[in-house]
């Protein structure tokens, strides 16, 4: 990249470099990285486009662009990702929160409000950054949240996010396998567990396949292994009228819903579509 004198020149040169590296939406990503390097918000940047870029900021910006051309995810470079209108810290130890996972928060909140649980006991299983559980707790007073994950490093990220984003956090962090180490029972269980079949990893974008933690992407050959195991734990871990909302890969929803009906024959089991009208979650309301 050249050594431009103005913010606008730096932005346009970086956008061209990202575009040549086959980065989608290169102009927007260059803007995000420029704001990250300079500490300017969007309004400040647009008001300063003819200003000279600070040499230290330019050095940070060029380093960030170089990282992005290797297909390192934007969120890992900036260290943040917005989810449910909240800014979460993310590191390569956690899966980057996706917009489609906001469906889990919506579905869980809807049921908690309708059921009028006073102090809902909520488990975010396979919590990663804690995005789903923390967003839920941020939008519902009185929630007692437990985040669980097999990764200690992921739980450290979740703990940091809870401390920053929850006003009076009533949150615990437990390392372990699914619901096994958790006290329970729960009024709500949310889970975005690994669900990509192992053979499909090679088909994913480099940002995902080469940079996001493999343990957060695939549980094995079928993709449904962990979700099905979690379902076997639900009968003894859900309160009556409690809800579980489990994210799935489109195409897995029938098998997951059938397994839920077998394990909880009195439950109400529903497949939920995301904003793209793709089956994205299975909701289980205990009878």
Query: pLDDT tens across 84-93, in order?
Result: 999 999 999 9
Q: Phi/psi zone of residue 245: left (φ > 0), alpha (ψ -120 to 50 degrees), beta? A: beta
Tokens standing for 115? 């059921």
pLDDT at 287: 86
> Which is it for strands 186-191 and 121-125: parallel, antiparallel or unpaired?
parallel
Helix axes 7-20, 55-69, angle to 10 degrees: 10
Strand partners, 89: 80
The string of pLDDT tens digits covering residues 55-86 is 999 999 999 999 999 999 999 999 999 999 99
The secondary structure element, H or E, covering residue 284 is strand 279-285
Nearest alpha carbon to residue 27 among 37, 36, 17: 17
236/16 Cα distance (integer angstroms): 56
pTM as predicted: 0.93
pLDDT at 3: 60
């Amino acid at each position: 990249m050249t050594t431009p004198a103005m913010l606008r020149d730096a932005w346009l040169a970086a956008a061209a470099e990202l575009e040549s590296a086959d980065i989608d939406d290169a102009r927007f990503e260059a803007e995000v990285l420029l704001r990250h390097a300079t500490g300017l918000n969007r309004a400040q940047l647009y008001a300063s486009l003819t200003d000279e870029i600070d040499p230290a900021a330019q050095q940070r910006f060029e380093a960030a662009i170089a990282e992005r051309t290797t297909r390192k995810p934007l969120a890992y470079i900036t260290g943040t990702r917005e989810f449910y209108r909240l800014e979460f810290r993310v590191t390569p130890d956690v899966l980057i929160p996706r917009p489609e996972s906001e469906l889990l928060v919506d579905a869980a909140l809807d049921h908690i409000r309708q059921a009028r649980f006073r102090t809902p006991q909520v488990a975010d299983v396979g919590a990663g950054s804690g995005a789903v559980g923390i967003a839920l707790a941020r939008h519902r007073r009185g929630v007692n949240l437990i985040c669980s994950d097999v990764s200690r490093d992921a739980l450290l990220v979740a703990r940091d996010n809870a401390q920053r984003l929850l006003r009076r956090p009533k949150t615990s962090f437990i390392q372990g396998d699914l619901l096994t180490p958790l006290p329970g029972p729960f009024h709500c269980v949310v889970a975005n567990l690994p669900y990509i079949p192992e053979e499909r990893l090679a088909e994913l974008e480099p940002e995902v396949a080469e940079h996001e933690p493999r343990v957060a992407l695939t549980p094995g050959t079928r993709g449904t292994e962990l979700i099905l195991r979690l379902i076997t734990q639900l009968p003894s871990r859900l309160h009556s009228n409690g809800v579980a909302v489990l994210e799935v890969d489109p195409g897995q929803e029938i098998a997951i819903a059938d397994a839920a009906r077998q394990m909880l024959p009195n439950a109400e089991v529903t497949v939920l579509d995301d904003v793209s009208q793709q089956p994205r979650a299975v909701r289980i309301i205990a009878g």
